[in-house]
Amino acid sequence: MAQELDKKFSEIEREVAIGDKDRRANGEPEATPYLKKAQANWKRYRDNQCYARTYEVGPASLRFVEFWDCMARVTRNRLNELTTANED
């Protein structure tokens, strides 16, 4: 799942970088730095969200399963978000 997300993000980043050439030529701000910041912040959100959910679960035996379930769920949602936003 994480590899699929990284691949999709790289595709989007390349597309945005192409648009940045035009933006730069027109004296407009580039989008790539903000896209990268958004992805870095999303990763921090994902990690913190999943750790919070994991530790509220209770018994340690369930934490491992909950953590990876959360990571997969949140990553899948981000992948859907990037795919949908890219289609607009």
Q: Is the pLDDT of residue 72 over 80?
A: yes
Residue pair 70/54 in contact (Cβ under 8 Å)? The answer is yes
Q: Are 17 and 35 in contact (CB under 8 A)?
A: no
Is residue 62 pLDDT above 90, yes or no? no
Q: Rounded mean pLDDT of 44-66?
A: 90
Report yes or no: 73 and 50 within 8 Å, Cβ to Cβ. Answer: no
3-state SS track over 26-46: CCCCCCHHHHHHHHHHHHHHH
Report pLDDT for 87. 67
Domain range list for the chain:
1-85
Give the tens place of pLDDT for each residue, 10-42. Answer: 999 999 999 999 999 999 999 999 999 999 999
pLDDT bin (cut points 50, 70, 90) of residue 88 is low
- Given a cut of 90, whether residue 60 has pLDDT beyond it is no
Contact 10, 42 (CB under 8 A): no
Domain made up of 1-85: CATH architecture: Up-down Bundle (1.20)
Cα separation, 69 vs 50, in Å, equals 9
